[in-house]
């Protein structure tokens, strides 16, 4: 089976579904990673940060064992300023090339605009007549993005699918540590303690020590 995770930024894939991706890999599924944005010197990032970010991506990809990583290199935090047609064309091209059976995407109401745009673009790109290979689409949650969305009616993340990641919890934390500067100690949302706490909370709903939660948008069986 071909499995694709789409992340607005490097680290979203790990916060949202690291354990699940590792489970897919253990089952000998082919896993792919599509990254929407990247940092660049043209956008004001220091050369050292641009280089270190690419090293982080390479290191993370190796830890997962992705069959292929596609970097679209759109400007981070600026997807809402890009032409929708160009974004859809780029994502559709990647999905057509990979022919995934399952696709993991960010939650549609995440607070970060890049997440919301990514959701909408992928949704357009995986229409049946555009991506007939896709049989299942799941939205994942990202700590400090999904939980920070406005708690108004109809916008809460309500999972209806859970993945037992008890065997992979430590590996999930280990992969997140590759992203320098994304994790901090204490009450910071993206601390090892809080990432594990969310997995324990989701696990309580699934009868597991640790779990990742998803909302299924489409399933053909």
Output the domain CATH number for residue 106.
Answer: 3.40.50.10320
Q: Print the domain residue range for 124.
A: 2-219
Q: Count CB-CB contacts under 10 A for residue 204.
A: 12
pLDDT of the residue at 152: 75
Coil, strand or helix: which one is 209?
coil
Domain count of the fold of the chain:
1
Q: Which residue reads 């253990």 in tokens? A: 26
**Tokens (6 digits) for 75:** 């400007």
| For range 126-144, the mean pLDDT | 95
Which of 93, 220, 215, 78 has its CA nearest to residue 156?
215
Q: How far, in Å, CA of 200 to CA of 168, rounded? A: 13
pLDDT digits (tens, 9 = 90+) for 5-50: 999 999 999 999 999 999 999 999 999 999 999 988 888 888 998 8
For the beta sheet containing 211-219, the strands, ordered from the edge strand earlier in sequence to the opposite edge, are 68-75, 30-38, 2-7, 102-106, 136-140, 211-219, 161-164
Is residue 184 very low, low, confident or very high in pLDDT (cuts 50, 70, 90)?
confident
pLDDT > 80? residue 54: yes
> In this prediction, what percent of the chain has a pLDDT beyond 90?
83
Q: What is the pTM of this model?
A: 0.95
pLDDT of the residue at 138: 98
Instruction: Let me know: does 105 contact 119? Beta carbons within 8 Å.
Output: yes
Mean of the per-residue pLDDT values for the chain? Answer: 94
**Tokens (6 digits) for 148:** 């920070």
**Tokens (6 digits) for 77:** 């935090």
96-129 per-residue burial string, b: 16 or more CB within 10 A, e: under 16: eebebbbbbbbbbbbebebbbbbbbbbbbbbeee
What are φ and ψ of residue 12, in 5° steps?
-60, -40
pLDDT of the residue at 155: 86
Instruction: Let me know: does 147 contact 155? Beta carbons within 8 Å.
Output: no
């Amino acid at each position: 089976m071909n499995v694709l995770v789409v992340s607005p930024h490097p680290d979203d894939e790990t916060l949202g579904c690291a354990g699940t991706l590792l489970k897919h890999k253990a089952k000998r599924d082919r896993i792919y990673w599509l990254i929407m944005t990247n940092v660049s010197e043209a956008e004001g990032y220091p050369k050292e940060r641009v280089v270190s970010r690419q090293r982080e991506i390479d290191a993370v990809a190796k830890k997962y064992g992705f069959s292929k990583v596609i970097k679209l290199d759109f400007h981070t935090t600026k997807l809402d300023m890009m032409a929708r047609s160009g974004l859809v064309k780029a994502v559709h091209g990647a999905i057509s090339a990979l022919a995934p059976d399952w696709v993991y995407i960010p939650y549609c109401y995440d607070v970060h605009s890049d997440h919301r745009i990514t959701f909408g673009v992928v949704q357009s790109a995986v229409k049946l007549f555009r991506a007939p290979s896709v049989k299942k689409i799941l939205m994942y949650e990202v700590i400090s993005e999904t939980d920070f969305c406005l708690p108004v009616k109809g916008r809460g993340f309500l999972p209806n699918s859970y993945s037992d990641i008890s065997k992979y919890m430590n590996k999930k934390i280990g992969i997140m540590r590759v992203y320098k500067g994304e994790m901090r100690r204490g009450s910071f949302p993206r601390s090892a303690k809080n990432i594990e706490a969310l997995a324990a909370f989701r696990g309580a709903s699934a009868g597991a020590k640790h779990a990742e939660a998803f909302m299924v948008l489409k399933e053909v069986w």
